[in-house]
Amino acid sequence: MTVVKWEVRAGTYYDSVVLMQLQRGLLGLPGVADAGVAMATPANKDLLAANHLLPENVNANSDDLLIVVKAENDQSANDAIGQVDELLLRRKSSNSPNFFDFRPRSLSAAVKQLPEANWVLVSVPGRYAAGVAREALDLGKHVFLYSDNVSLEDEISLKKTAREKGLLVMGPDCGTAIINGIGLGFANRVRRGSIGVVGASGTGTQAVTAHIHNLGAGISHAIGTGGRDLKSDVGAITAHQALDALARDDETKVIVLISKPPSPDVATGLIAAAQGTGKPVVIYFIGYPPPARKIGNLQFAISLSEAAELAVNGNWELVIERKLPITNYLRGLFSGGTLAYETLLGLQASLSPIYSNAPITTNQLLEDPLRSRAHTIIDLGDEFFMVGRLHPMIDNDLRIRRMKQEAADSEVGMILFDVVLGEGSHPDPAGELVPVIREIREKRLETREPALSRVEGLEFVAVVIGTDDDPQNLQAQIDQLREAGVVVFRTATEAVEYVSLRFVTSKQSYLTPVNLDQLKQPLAAINVGLESFYDSLLSQGAQAVHVEWKPPASGNEKMAALLAKMKSKKEN
């Protein structure tokens, strides 16, 4: 029969290392079978209960520390509880003596001690973290923000400030970065090299950088962004800064970008920025169907290990035809539903907004299939069009009318269509389509007004599906189309790559460039929070100062609010 005893300590702040060490201390005491030490949040109480460590009538809430001991008998349990204070003290005095005899108690004091530090690591509890990060930015420091539970508003505000100052805020909830060979937070030791990483995922960055090292290559910098950076609200501020910095960094020859699927508008901007770097970029949007294997200087991976492998061994023939990019809209008019779908799938990452009567996501739904908006992909074989009508592979009438309709829209810069040959299909689709294309071209030239001089004509692109045995004569079909100026591809994959590249515009990103010299200097940092991150900086040979941080008013929220109010009054 075991006995459970507990103690509640109300409203005091303990950092999580202290809690872990207290628990381990209790477990080491004679007669103790199990012990739990945790802030009494609902989740932690559930966890204690799952381990049969939650007393029935305990009265403690999220701000309270709950200490529970399960022991062989009353005596052992009481003894253990009685030693809590001593164990907490022992933990303090066991702190190894440190490089700096004097530990600063504030960030500003730490900066005076190590003025060359360009980086501040923040891993204090979430509710205090934004404040520390803001202070660091005010002091002109880059921030590695390990803490989670930071509000979205704080993240946006911090990142906007940072972008103006040319500083990085990596995080919140950023687990991993490697700057100039020094790992911040959780980071594998990897050799220096020519591959730069932008990672919205901590373990993703670890898995990729470790695998790159294991494959014999190395890392220039791995810049974390935090998982929320690529959400619409944040707009990938840090990822854009990081891409820009790695693009300018001569040591970085290849870039890897890892993230959970970004929102569509953010993806479009990031892909444009990645293309704008002019360097090979491997993109892995975790859990997102890759739009293609390759679009110009971009390659898309389907796993962390593949991202690393492509960065190290990727076949990077960057032969990009430099035509003036199209700034107008694409209209895709497909007879084949799957070709339409695959094309939409491939283009949705780089053309935004894009609509379709056969959308992949609901926000792509074209409400009126008869009227295109922005970039549009139409499946003309969709049921909507099909009642009492022959399939558009047999009857070109519907497509011809729609082609004329699209061409009459001066905002349309490209018409993309498929020609599916074979048994059952129209005997000469090119023969019907080409005269219409010629007519459209001539009409456009006639009606072009000076005001429309930015309209770079109208490009026609076709995907021709067929074989040399098909009854229509594949080569003659292709020749007819090409003679009419149509750019012809034989697979949707090739067409998707071509179209993506034709429409790409490197968007101007409004950011103050990060100072590359700061990335290249021997890393010196100030650590606020988990001491193990400080230890690890030292063990890697970096210069570092650890701040003996305590929450304002020792975690008493009311008192802290009062102090903040007084401080703000004094400043006014």
Residues in region 47-66 near a second copy by CB under 8 A? 47, 50-51, 62
- Establish if 527 lies at the interface with a second copy (CB under 8 A): no
Q: How far apart are CA 291 and CA 225, in angstroms?
A: 23
Phi, psi of 408 (to 5 degrees): -75, -10
394 near a second copy, rule: CB under 8 A: yes
383 touches a second copy (CB under 8 A): yes
**Which residue lies nearer to a second copy by CB, 147 or 480?**
147
Q: Which of 111/465 has CB closer to a second copy?
A: 465
Contact 379, 372 (CB under 8 A): no
Q: Cβ–Cβ contacts within 10 Å for residue 256, how many?
A: 30
Q: Is residue 465 at the binding interface for a second copy, with CB under 8 A as the rule?
A: yes
Q: Does 563 bind a second copy (CB under 8 A)?
A: no
Q: In the bound complex, what is the minimum distance in angstroms from residue 194's beta carbon to a second copy?
A: 17
Instruction: Verify binding: residue 435, a second copy, rule CB under 8 A.
Output: no
**Count of residues that interact with a second copy, criterion CB under 8 A:** 104
Asked if 545 and 110 count as a contact pair (C-beta separation under 8 A), the reply is: yes
Interaction mask 182-211, a second copy, x per CB under 8 A? -x-xxxxxxx---------xxxx-xx--xx
Residue 5-44 contact track with a second copy, rule CB under 8 A, x = bound:
---------x-xx-xx--x--------------xx-x-xx
* Residue closest to 169 by CA, chosen among 105, 109, 216, 238: 238
490 near a second copy (CB under 8 A) = yes
Q: How far apart are CA 501 and CA 246, in angstroms?
A: 22
- Our finding on whether 408 is near a second copy (CB under 8 A) is no
What mask, x for binding a second copy by CB under 8 A, covers residues 230 to 259?
------------------------------
Interface with a second copy (CB under 8 A), residue from 95, 313, 338, 506 = 338
Is 538 a binding residue for a second copy by CB under 8 A? The answer is no
Minimum separation from the CB atom of position 464 to a second copy (A): 9
DSSP state of 475: H
Minimum gap (Å) between residue 269 Cβ and a second copy: 22
144 binds a second copy (CB under 8 A): no
Using CA atoms, how far residue 121 sits from 137, 284, 376, 451, in Å, is 12, 27, 46, 54
Asked whether position 357 contacts a second copy by CB under 8 A, the answer is no
Q: Tell me how far, at minimum, the Cβ of 265 lies from a second copy, in Å.
A: 20
Taking the complex as a whole, the smallest distance from the CB of residue 398 to a second copy amounts, in Å, to 7
Backbone angles phi, psi at 412, to 5 degrees: -95, 125
Q: Is 473 in the site for a second copy (CB under 8 A)?
A: no
In angstroms, give the least distance from the CB of 478 to a second copy. Answer: 12
Place of tokens 């001690």: 113
Given candidates 109, 360, 436, 524, which one binds a second copy under the rule CB under 8 A? 360
In the complex, minimum distance from the CB of residue 34 to a second copy, in angstroms, rounded to a whole number = 9
Please say which residue, 422 or 485, places its beta carbon nearer to a second copy: 422
**Do residues 284 and 301 touch, judged by C-beta distance below 8 A?**
yes
Q: Which of 106, 101, 99 is nearest to 528 (CA)?
A: 106
> Tokens 């949705």 — which residue?
348
Selected binder of a second copy within 89, 365, 370, 559 (CB under 8 A)? 370
Residue in 528, 524, 549, 548 with CA at minimum distance from that of residue 538: 524
Q: At what angle do helices 16-27 and 84-93 cross, to 10 degrees?
A: 120
Please name the amino acid found at residue 190.
V
Nearer to a second copy, 326 or 499 (CB): 499
Both tokens of residue 54?
């939650």
Nearer to a second copy, 490 or 520 (CB): 490
Strand duo 298-300 + 294-295: pairing: antiparallel
The DSSP secondary structure of 55-80, one letter per residue, reads -TT----TTSEEEEEEESSHHHHHHH
Does residue 373 interact with a second copy by CB under 8 A?
no
Of residues 410, 540, 543, 556, which one binds a second copy by CB under 8 A?
Answer: 540
Residue 41 or 515: which CB sits closer to a second copy? Answer: 41
* 536 binds a second copy, rule: CB under 8 A: yes
Between 205 and 277, CB nearer to a second copy: 205
Residues 66/38, Cβ–Cβ less than 8 Å? yes
Nearer to a second copy, 211 or 279 (CB): 211
Contacts with a second copy, 315-334, as mask; x by CB under 8 A: --------------------
Contacts of 90 (CB under 8 A, 6+ apart): 25
Specify the pairing of strand 142-145 against strand 119-122.
parallel
Can you name the residues that pair with 417 across neighbouring β-strands?
333, 462
Q: Judged by CB under 8 A, which stretch of 89-97, 283-291, 313-321, 452-460 contacts a second copy? A: 283-291
CB 197 within 8 A of CB 209: yes
Contact at 8 Å (CB) between 69 and 32? yes
Phi and psi at residue 172, to the nearest 5°: -70, 170
Binding piece for a second copy, criterion CB under 8 A, among 267-275, 311-319, 395-403, 545-553? 395-403
Q: Which residues 149-188 are close enough to bind a second copy by CB under 8 A? A: 149, 175, 183, 185-188
Please give the span between the terminal C-alpha atoms of the chain, in angstroms, as a whole number: 63
- How many beta carbons lie within 10 A of that of residue 462, not counting itself? 24
Q: Which residues contact 274 (CB under 8 A, 6 or more apart)?
A: 243, 255, 257, 281, 283, 297, 298
One residue of 164, 397, 479, 483 binding a second copy per CB under 8 A: 397
- Residues numbered 91-120 forming contacts with a second copy, rule: CB under 8 A: none
Q: Which of residues 508 and 539 has its CB atom nearest to a second copy in the complex?
A: 539
H/E run at residue 365? none
494 contacts a second copy (rule: CB under 8 A):
yes
